[in-house]
Structure 1
Amino acid sequence: MSDYVASIRSRIGTDLLLLPGVTAVIRDGDRYLLARHRHSGLWSLIGGGVEPGEEPADALVREVLEETGARIRIRGIVGVYGGEPMMMTYPNGDNVGYVTTAYDCELLSDAAPDMEELLELGWFDRDVIPTLGRRDWIDRVIDDSPRRPGAHDA
């Protein structure tokens, strides 16, 4: 939790907090890099919160580096997502609603999970993702992401 969110939480407790977020859609053809998060055990796209005064694209580069140790190149915006699918309650009882900007990204270096936040990273074909224990909102983001040829396309 950032110092900014912690300062708000000290005043509002676990009440609903609406936060801006960023999400990396890291692809190689029709394979997507997903992370299984420690707090939920679910697979999701990689991302996090935008800090006060931070550009969203800079926040995405920071979040991917923090969670995976990898560098990325942003190719464009996939879309902006919010609403009920983006609301959650963390194990500590904090209620959060995110409005996230999803970016189409290219991986520029190897990725390895930050074992504090993540349990594992994995590459998954587009058609396998619906079978995973996952955050359901990623289906819409993946459906909206442009298909590009990659090293593993037939």
Structure 2
Amino acid sequence: MGYIENIRAKIGHDPVNLVGVAVLAFNESGNILLQKRPDDVWGLPGGLIELGESTEDAARREVKEETGIEIGRLELVTVLSGEDYHVKLPNGDEFFAVTVVYYTKDVTGELKADGIETIETDFFPLNELPEGTSPRIRKMLRDSADQLSDFGEKQN
């Protein structure tokens, strides 16, 4: 039984705070890595941290598991939290997401969707995101455009 399943077995559907990560990973062409989930929505690779795991290690693990890509150096972009990040799942579980967002251009490996959480994965130009990209992801990218430009300059 995993960490979240263990908590749910004890508290049921009650709201909890859950910490996760999302990664803005760019290839050498400046294209962003996205994953298409089974619900046909394109988003950023990421997920919840495991008990005792650092957010950086969770970011690397989630990207590798979901997309086949390995990432190295990470830079903190922002932390998203609060009422706007309340989630109620179809099974009745409720949580408030605390999402640590990282940036990297330190990517290697071959793209390979895991077939479970990710049915397709690819790199896209920021001005040509695929139809079905999560509106929340589009907003995050628009709101972070200046900061992402600064990150790109530091890593070149």
1:81-133 deviation line (CA, Å, top 9, x unaligned)? 1234433333433223211111112311112111011121122221233x632
Aligned counterpart, 2:16: 17
Alignment of 1:52-131 (within 5 A): 52-106=51-105, 107-129=107-129
Partners of 1:98 and 1:35 in 2: how far apart? 19
Aligned counterpart, 2:148: 146
Q: Any unmatched runs of 5+ in structure 1?
A: 150-154
Q: Which amino acid aligns with 2:111?
A: A
Q: Which is strand-richer, 1 or 2?
A: 1
The TM-score, its normalising length taken from structure 2, stands at 0.80
Q: Secondary structure at the match of 1:35?
A: strand
Partners of 2:22 and 2:16 in 1: how far apart? 18
Q: Percent identity?
A: 31
**Greater RCO structure (CA 8 Å; 6+ sep):** 1
Q: Which is helix-richer, 1 or 2?
A: 2
Superposition CA RMSD, Å: 2.1
Q: How many residues align?
A: 146
Asked if structure 2 preserves the Cα contact closer than 8 Å seen for 1:79 and 1:141, the reply is no
Partners of 1:93 and 1:41 in 2: how far apart? 22
